[in-house]
Amino acid sequence: MRATIALIFVGMLAAVSATSAVHASLAQINSHPFGATILTAVKANLKAQTPIEEITTLLNKILADLKRDRTALQTEFDANNNRLTTEIGDLEQLIETINALITQLTNEITNKSNRKADAEEELVSV
């Protein structure tokens, strides 16, 4: 008898635990506006006594749409990421080229300034 009561109690605890987990999951879904909308739609369908198969079909369609959207968005993200990575590489190369040109022109200016100063000294000394 005690074993039976213990088994029933364990079963009840498992059911409460599962129910708590379900409630926690539903609360998490409900915290997001899209999730709240879905739960409201499911609740309305259940209240209207829509067959569970129709509700499941509706949810499966929504899930398929979300997966399709996710795939499209991931494809777009990957394309943008690749394009921007290439552009960043091109810009980094351009920066290196411009920095080298700046160094070259700075050296030319310095050399010309030095030659000018030397020429002025020669003129003054003559």
Give pTM, 2 decimals.
0.57
Q: What local confidence, expressed as pLDDT, does residue 14 receive?
A: 54
Mean pLDDT, range 24-41, rounded to an integer: 82
For the stretch 85-118, pLDDT in tens is: 999 999 999 999 999 999 999 999 999 999 998 8
- Asked if pLDDT for residue 6 goes beyond 70, the answer is no
List phi, psi (to 5°) of 81: -60, -45
| 14-18, 70-74, 122-126 — most confident range | 70-74
Q: What local confidence, expressed as pLDDT, does residue 94 receive?
A: 98
Rounded to 5°, angle at Cα 63 from 62 and 67: 120
d(CA 115, CA 123): 12
124 vs 104: which has the higher pLDDT: 104
Q: What local confidence, expressed as pLDDT, does residue 11 receive?
A: 53
Nearest to 56 by CA among 66, 68, 41: 41
For the stretch 45-85, pLDDT in tens is: 889 998 888 888 888 898 899 899 999 999 999 999 999 99
CA end-to-end distance (rounded Å), the chain: 127
Question: Please, are residues 114 and 106 in contact by the beta-carbon 8 Å criterion?
Answer: no
